[in-house]
């Protein structure tokens, strides 16, 4: 029977007995805060029934903390549940006379659902009707199973707690034995004592190290907000999930599926204290055990990103304040003349009439964009796609009627977020700001009144489809840039303010910036999903989903593209992401690696940042180094802000030396795009990251666990960038037990460990990992051209002189549903015993016919190659390149979609 698969240990206290509790001061690292507000004193603490003992460890360590008998006790027998698992009813401990905010639930239930051998769900709730996140969690690939990776221990001494233990190692991946379980109407808390200090994730915020620092107490708040990323404060997205590498290298990922204002407190125990202000506890544990398996299981549950349009993986150009078609085209032309590839051009607010979304300034009222539709059509003949910025906030000024169709039709179709009295919520944002001039700062009083689209309403999705179709009839855009969708406003709450109630002013607010109505909609305003108190952080997620559903029919069988600033688990199914309004600083360059690797964990692998920074003016050195590393972001876009001191930072605006550096880096990107594209295919079918840290491949390497100044594209392409001003060398780490070869010449790294690499102004260090085969393609100025070119392979041999890889190829534009029907090409590649073979697995994509696999670069052969046989026939067009003894083979002219064998003889 399914229930018997999981070993369960129950340790119960005989009912009616008394547990003697020590009155000695508890170690700072093990304390759970009992007084969450500032100004705790012994008098206030003890008046709540808490324990007082001055802390000595950290200023955030509490002096007022919970006694060990605080919590819940098991109430009645443990019962089996039909889905497979257990239900445990709990009753608040008689000794728990402490209440954080009031309205504690006296009775709650804990459900353990054994979803699969790799996935466990834990749900804790009371008997009231509580908000649950409307995200569909996909069933596991192999439900049930007979060999679970976990077992569960319960105890009731002195209060209920449980542990989820990895069977193979005995590590407790979830351990609530520190206590602190709280379930109140507007305050829920659970504390997880973790098995190691190698934790990663939780967002969205700017983290200064990828690995969490458990040496001190610190808070990661989560609540979507339009705010520039500076430190631990909450910004655009909400991702209550982390991945942890355990002491033996096994790895798990945990999701807390909740959308209320919330926070994670890190403590030296080590532990994560999770607090949220509503909903319930709905916890998913993905057991891995490898890092990519754990993260992949999470991605498959929340929904992986579809394979992106191939062109969207090319280089993207954008800026706010081109101000005219002439300036925009001048940027595109100098990029082309510099030999720098470009696939995408963006339009920002400046193309709009008076900053009204779904318009363009056709009469040059403020900026000269007359002729924009013809210009976009002409760009497409050059292979450049066009993406336009749109906002969900629609100008609500009656003077816009009847000509402003988004407002007129929005009223007619009833698409707005509502106040409690049923009238539309009204904030302020961009519309009208253009005619006021830029000298007036953005904020309250700037711009004009707006209503907010409610994407949880079916009528709103149909309305969005209609106005997007009308807009595309005018401007033939290829994708949408969903901005300001936290949702942002420049007035807090509403132009008429927010009501004074416990929804708008809850008894506890996590450590977010200001309060939960700050520069956004009042929490008691209403969507179809429910009140914004529960749904606020789902707004960008719902827009990405609703917009994708609405515009998908406009493109027939072709893929479109969406770029969303606000995200939530599952957003990657509908949109890529950039990390918002960053700064032109070396610190933001370094933190970009951490942020993008984090979003690869979160399930949006096509992520990037504004290369060279959005705010501020970068030096040429900073921008050049940023363009070097940005060439290898999964999503690569250069963008900057409108400014009173106008300047350009696009790659062709710098010196010849800088342009040469950017050209080389981006041409390498375009060369390895087939390898990167295959990684997106792998993500689509089984989850996993595109950009990852070294520990994702080497979880047992203690040094690799802390490296966040390098990153891998997939398992095999290592980027070691310059991240500090004035540096002409970098310290790169190469894990033991692997071979690494310089991308440019095949030279092998001679010793594992930390290595100093030279990095002059125009150079970024790139290495290929032994044991892997990377498909490549001759680059060009855009993917429309490069996709017509010959393919190649980079074959890097491991210590056994073997390598393997795979290749996926399709038309680059057709929907995933067609891909699922098998309309693609896929092959496996293997090098062993001197023989390189391709085995075709699927050959249903006709468009690959006529393309050839033309070249090979072989790294790390055991001896100098003197003879090459292609399917048994000698091939003589090859040479050895020093200093790395790299073998380069040319003019193979093999049909890409054929089985072949190439033999390399000494």
Bridge partners (DSSP) of residue 857 are 794, 888
Q: Is 677 exposed, middle or buried (0-12, 13-18, 19+ CB in 10 A)?
A: buried
Q: Are 563 and 478 in contact (CB under 8 A)?
A: no
Residue 14 reports pLDDT greater than 50: no
Residue 21 reports pLDDT greater than 50: no
Residue 10 pLDDT class (50, 70, 90 cuts): low
Interatomic CA distance for residues 777 and 677, integer angstroms: 12
The angle subtended at Cα 104 by Cα 101 and Cα 107, nearest 5°, is 170
* Domain count across the chain: 1
What does the pLDDT read at residue 884? 86
Cβ-proximal residues to 799 (8 Å cutoff; 6+ apart), any chain: 737, 739, 770
Cβ-proximal residues to 558 (8 Å cutoff; 6+ apart), any chain: 309, 813, 814, 815
Q: What is the pLDDT of residues 574-601, one digit of tens each?
A: 999 999 999 999 999 999 999 999 999 9
What does the pLDDT read at residue 141? 86
What does the pLDDT read at residue 440? 46
Q: How far is CA 721 from CA 201, 590, 624, 701, 712, in A?
A: 22, 9, 11, 21, 11
Residue 817 pLDDT class (50, 70, 90 cuts): low
Cβ-proximal residues to 330 (8 Å cutoff; 6+ apart), any chain: none
* Residue 245 counted as domain residue: yes
Residue 23 reports pLDDT greater than 90: no
Q: What is the pLDDT of residues 114-153, one digit of tens each?
A: 999 999 999 999 999 999 999 999 999 889 878 999 999 9
* Residue 289 counted as domain residue: yes
* Residue 187 counted as domain residue: yes
- Dihedral (CA of 544, 546, 549, 550) sign: negative
Residue 406 pLDDT class (50, 70, 90 cuts): very high
Q: Which of 486, 806, 811, 886 is catalytic?
A: 486
Find the Cα–Cα–Cα–Cα dihedral 461, 465, 466, 469, rounded to 10°.
170
* Averaged pLDDT for residues 174-197: 99
Residue 19 reports pLDDT greater than 50: no
What does the pLDDT read at residue 83? 84
The rounded percent of the chain whose pLDDT value lies above 70 is 95
* Residue 269 counted as domain residue: yes
* Residue 551 counted as domain residue: no
Q: Is 406 exposed, middle or buried (0-12, 13-18, 19+ CB in 10 A)?
A: buried
State how beta strands 561-564 and 852-859 pair.
unpaired
What does the pLDDT read at residue 646? 66
What does the pLDDT read at residue 443? 47
Give the residue among 748, 739, 854, 743 at the shortest CA–CA distance from 802: 739
Bridge partners (DSSP) of residue 902 are 836, 870
Strand spans (E) along 71-211: 72-74, 79-80, 85-92, 107-113, 119-125, 150-155, 161-166, 172-175, 182-184, 187-193, 199-203
* Residue 654 counted as domain residue: no
pTM (2 d.p.): 0.96
Q: Which of 175, 350, 454, 483 is catalytic?
A: 483
Q: What is the pLDDT of residues 736-795, one digit of tens each?
A: 999 999 999 999 999 999 999 999 999 999 999 999 999 999 999 999 999 999 999 999
Mean pLDDT score across all residues of the chain:
95
* Residue 794 counted as domain residue: no
- Domain limits for position 115: 9-14+75-302
Bridge partners (DSSP) of residue 673 are none
What does the pLDDT read at residue 363? 85
Place of tokens 């064998």: 901
What does the pLDDT read at residue 22? 44
DSSP annotation of 199: E
Residue 647 pLDDT class (50, 70, 90 cuts): confident
SS (H, E, C) 466-532: HHHHHHHHHCCCCEEEEECCCCCCCCCECCCCCCCCCCCCCCCCCCCCCCCCCCCECCCCEECCEEH
Residue 821 pLDDT class (50, 70, 90 cuts): confident
Residue 96 pLDDT class (50, 70, 90 cuts): confident
Interatomic CA distance for residues 288 and 444, integer angstroms: 48
Interatomic CA distance for residues 390 and 753, integer angstroms: 48
Residue 412 reports pLDDT greater than 70: yes
- Is 750 tagged catalytic? no
543 alpha-carbon distance from chain centroid: 17
* Residue 89 counted as domain residue: yes
Q: What is the pLDDT of residues 490-518, one digit of tens each?
A: 999 999 999 999 999 999 999 999 999 99
Residue 213 reports pLDDT greater than 60: yes
Report the CATH number that the domain containing residue 207 is assigned in CATH.
Answer: 2.60.40.1760
193 alpha-carbon distance from chain centroid: 25
896: left (phi > 0), else alpha (psi -120 to 50), else beta? alpha
Cβ-proximal residues to 551 (8 Å cutoff; 6+ apart), any chain: 464, 465, 468, 480, 560, 562
- Is 486 tagged catalytic? yes
- Least confident stretch, 17-31, 655-669, 758-772, 811-825: 17-31
């Amino acid at each position: 029977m399914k229930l018997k698969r999981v070993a369960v240990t129950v340790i119960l206290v005989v009912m009616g007995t008394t547990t003697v509790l020590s009155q000695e001061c508890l170690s700072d690292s093990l304390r759970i805060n009992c007084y969450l507000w500032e100004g705790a004193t012994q008098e206030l603490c003890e008046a709540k029934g808490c324990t007082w003992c001055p802390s000595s460890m950290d200023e955030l360590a509490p002096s007022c903390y919970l006694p060990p008998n605080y919590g819940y006790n098991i109430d009645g027998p443990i019962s089996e549940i039909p889905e497979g698992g257990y239900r445990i009813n709990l009753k608040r401990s008689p000794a728990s006379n402490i209440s954080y905010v009031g309205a504690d639930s006296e009775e709650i239930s804990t459900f353990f659902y054994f979803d699969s051998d790799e996935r466990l769900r834990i749900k804790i709730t009371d008997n009231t009707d509580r908000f649950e996140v409307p995200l569909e969690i996909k069933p596991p690939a192999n439900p049930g199973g007979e060999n679970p990776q976990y077992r569960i221990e319960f105890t009731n001494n002195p209060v209920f707690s449980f542990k989820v233990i990895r069977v193979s190692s005995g590590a407790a991946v979830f351990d609530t034995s520190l206590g602190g379980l709280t379930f109140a109407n507007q305050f829920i808390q659970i504390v997880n004592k973790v098995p190691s200090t190698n934790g990663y994730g939780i967002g969205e915020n700017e983290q200064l190290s990828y690995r969490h620092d458990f040496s001190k107490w610190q808070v990661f708040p989560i609540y979507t907000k339009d705010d520039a990323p500076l430190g631990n404060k909450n910004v655009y997205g909400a991702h209550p999930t982390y991945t942890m590498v355990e002491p033996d290298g096994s790895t798990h990922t945990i999701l807390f599926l909740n959308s209320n204002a919330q926070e994670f407190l890190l403590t030296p125990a080590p532990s994560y204290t999770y607090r949220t202000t509503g909903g319930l506890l709905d916890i998913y544990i993905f057991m891995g055990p490898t890092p990519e398996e754990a993260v992949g299981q999470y991605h498959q549950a929340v929904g992986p990103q579809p394979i992106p349009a191939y062109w969207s993986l090319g280089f993207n150009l954008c800026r706010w304040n081109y101000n005219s078609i002439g300036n925009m085209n001048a940027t595109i032309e100098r990029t082309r003349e510099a030999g720098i590839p470009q696939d995408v051009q963006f339009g920002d607010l400046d193309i709009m009439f008076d900053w009204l979304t779904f318009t363009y300034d056709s009469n040059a009222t403020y900026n000269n964009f007359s002729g924009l539709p013809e210009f976009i059509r002409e760009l497409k003949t050059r292979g450049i796609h066009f993406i336009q910025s749109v906002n969900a906030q629609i100008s609500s000024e009656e003077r816009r009627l009847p000509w402003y169709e988004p407002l007129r039709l929005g009223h007619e179709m009833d698409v707005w977020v509502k106040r409690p009295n049923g009238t539309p919520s009204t904030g302020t944002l961009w519309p009208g700001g253009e005619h006021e001039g830029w000298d007036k700062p953005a904020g309250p009083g700037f711009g004009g009144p707006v209503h907010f689209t409610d994407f949880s309403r079916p009528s709103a999705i149909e309305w969005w489809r209609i106005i997007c179709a009308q807009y595309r009839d005018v401007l033939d855009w290829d994708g949408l840039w969903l901005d300001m969708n936290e949702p942002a406003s420049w007035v807090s709450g509403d132009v008429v303010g927010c009501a004074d109630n416990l929804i708008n002013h809850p008894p506890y607010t996590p450590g977010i910036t200001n309060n939960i109505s700050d520069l956004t909609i009042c929490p008691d305003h209403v969507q179809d999903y429910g009140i914004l108190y529960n749904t606020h952080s789902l707004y960008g997620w719902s827009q990405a989903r609703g917009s994708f559903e609405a515009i998908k029919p406009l493109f027939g069988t072709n893929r479109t593209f969406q770029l969303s600033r606000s995200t939530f688990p599952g957003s990657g199914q509908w949109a890529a992401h950039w990390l918002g309004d960053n700064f032109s600083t070396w610190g933001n360059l370094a933190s970009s690696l951490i942020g993008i690797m984090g979003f690869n964990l979160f399930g949006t692998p096509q992520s990037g940042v504004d290369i060279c920074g959005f705010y501020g003016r970068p030096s040429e050195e900073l921008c050049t180094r940023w363009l070097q590393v940005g060439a290898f972001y999964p999503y690569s876009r250069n963008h900057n802000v409108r400014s009173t001191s106008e300047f350009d930072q696009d790659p062709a605006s710098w010196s010849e030396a800088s342009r040469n550096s950017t050209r080389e880096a981006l041409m390498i990107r375009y060369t390895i795009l087939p390898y990167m594209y295959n990684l997106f295919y792998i993500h689509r079918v089984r989850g996993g990251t595109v950009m990852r840290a070294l520990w994702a491949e080497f979880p047992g390497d203690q040094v690799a666990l802390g490296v966040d100044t390098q990153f891998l594209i997939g398992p095999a392409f290592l980027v070691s960038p310059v991240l500090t001003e004035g540096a002409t060398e970098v310290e790169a780490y190469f894990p033991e037990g692997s071979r690494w070869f310089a991308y440019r010449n095949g030279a092998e790294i001679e010793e594992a460990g930390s290595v100093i690499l030279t990095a002059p102004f125009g150079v970024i260090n790139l290495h290929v990992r032994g044991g892997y085969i990377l498909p490549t393609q001759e680059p060009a100025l855009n993917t429309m051209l490069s996709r017509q070119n010959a393919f190649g392979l980079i074959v890097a041999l491991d210590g056994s002189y073997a390598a393997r890889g795979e290749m996926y190829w399709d038309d680059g534009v057709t929907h995933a549903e067609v891909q699922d029907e098998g309309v693609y090409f896929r092959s496996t590649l293997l090098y062993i015993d001197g023989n390189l073979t391709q085995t075709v697995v699927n050959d249903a994509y006709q468009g690959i016919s006529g393309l050839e696999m033309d070249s090979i670069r072989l790294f790390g052969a055991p001896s100098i190659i003197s003879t090459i046989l292609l399917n048994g026939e000698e091939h003589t067009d090859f040479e050895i390149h020093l200093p790395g003894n790299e073998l380069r083979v040319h003019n193979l002219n093999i049909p890409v979609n054929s089985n072949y064998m190439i033999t390399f003889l000494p």
